Structure 1
């Protein structure tokens, strides 16, 4: 153990030196010798207690790359990893990528999040925060660093975007106008089953049992590869029970389908439909039908809300939509069900007055 000294323009600097198994470990340079001596005492304590960690000199970019290569593929789908990398390269790497991971301070991250609040949503900042936290936690787990600065960083509370939905008449008007377009079956499935866009575009005719009147949700269309892949969550794999009239519509559509392929929703070339074309078509239909423009995902919200209003069954709605937690169903759909709330209020009032 020793205290090393050097002289710079502004004065003297001190740091603790320690040798462990013939390898040299050093503390940070300090203006005051007492601070270096404090580091020396801390080194001794860590060595004798067996808690000493020789921290890595890797940059945050290097650490993030290791996370994306070794850990992310075990926990995320390829599409999600690509999106995470895009976020990282655009928002995190330019600020912290070149820095050694051990040099990043809590207040620096907090400052970045505050600056980003002017241009990014709270959910995006939260996503960036979680990504950095995963990298730090991984390298602590591997005994490469001692501290996780993210513990002391406040991430913004996610403000969920209010969903826009259509009522029954608006839904019927949209479907009527969409019949003239190739994507009609996509919109019909969204509003009649509540499936996610990727689940709809991945559907094959072999996923429907016409005799049992069942539709099996088993795949999701990967936007990047244009191939069928795994679903969002385990609970996303589900069976949708279809009515006789819905089966009739699907049978008729299959008979008249231009391309004799197993894919249900085909482009004009007989391939999987590009989601970007769905968005453009939806904008055009809404304009023609004089309807407020909503997102494609809001068709799913529309179905879920109307389904809950009719059935008044939260559990059935959860299973139909493939939610992993019933709280998600309650948070997203119950507050929209004004009609159901009025009906249940009247039922309770009648019970009390009786």
Structure 2
């Protein structure tokens, strides 16, 4: 072998393959992307073949060619949304711009675009076409998933602008999620009492804290007695491991609730500092 390949871990924890070789006395290292090992080996073989033929591997790299703007002559005269999605998919796949899981998520999302929109010329697609698709997409999905679909499609249209297929993106004036968010439903007092009866036992404390303080399951299982502040009747939520990465103090709705929680400390027989002393937090977080 005239070249070598290696991996490097990046910030998001994924592995990026690199190929190293020497051409005309200069040592080079080039990123192959987030690809499978067999794909990296295939690129290494291509580099070795170029070196044997005296060619510059970088000039004939499929990654370099993919970064070049498509030749206008080779593009269809009328580019439809389906054509644009196919070209975008090929571009991000070859360049390793997305993790495999992200690429799979995008393909699943774009697979829901109706045929009437896919066959429409790119320059004729307007705000209302895309809004209608997002509204249909959100019929069976939450607002967060719809917002992600919005971001995916926005990326595609911005890419089309970069490659001179469009001059303006119709996604620019669309709200993050055109689907109306449903009102949050809360439990009645009777329902809360019934839930506590059902949770009697291992899950009672977790459910009691969730009902009275509105904490997430992960925040509940990480609570220690140092986080329970008796003086001001509140529970402190640490920033570490928190979804929002910010700490906060959540006051108890009544003194009786705080007294109830403090009574658990004196009744605990296990030598633990956890407010919810269960054997495995993984079990609790999944079941809860």
TM-score when scaled to structure 1? 0.42
Query: Larger relative contact order (C-alpha < 8 A, sep ≥ 6)?
Result: 1
